Structure 1
Amino acid sequence: MLPYNEMIQLDRLIHEPARLAIMSCLKSYSMLEFLLLGELINLTYGNLSSHLSKLEKAGYVHIEKSFIQKKKAQTSVRITPQGLHALNKYWKQIDYIRSEIERIEHS
């Protein structure tokens, strides 16, 4: 079967490069502090916040705000089970598309 229809079915929310980087990073580290996440994927804090809002709205990440010693605010981000499922599905689709295109090339 040709893989082209599978491309159309990719999760567009995850497929966006910055959000793919966020999700992949969170899968690797489970939970990260907002500032460190921004540094790891080289996004400005404004861009990171915007992308995280979209992912949170979809239920893919959970954002938790807390205070350290009642003074300093800290924001932690973690991938949710729903987000992990969506990311794993995305990578399976990408692997399938790649392998099918390679198969077609070699036939």
Structure 2
Amino acid sequence: PLGRKRMLERGFSQSYHLAKEISRKKSLPLLDDLVIRKRNTPPQSLLPRKERLRNLRDAFELRRQEGKPLPESILIVDDVMTTGATLSEMGKLLKKNGVRRVHALVLARSEID
């Protein structure tokens, strides 16, 4: 998920729009507020690999809804994957909180220069 500051700067989230369309086409629930960014971080695209991994450590938090259990399986949708740091950190958080299967779908794969 984008941080609040980046969302205000950009005005939209590519990943959200991708996930929304997948949710609609496949009749799956969209849990776009389940994981939130708890602190602003520098854009991953500006950082080398080691810093990307460190940058997102402990950057996300789970927002549980009272009386609503987490699904057994979750699909994380991301627009571009470079190091996999975002997917890895979100996956760890979800598994730590009881999600049994975490899947990822990315639109594009990029390499670090």
TM-score range, shorter chain: under 0.3
Structure with the larger helix share? 1
TM-score, L = length of structure 1 = 0.25
Q: Could you say which structure has the greater relative contact order, defined with CA pairs below 8 angstroms and 6 or more residues apart?
A: 1
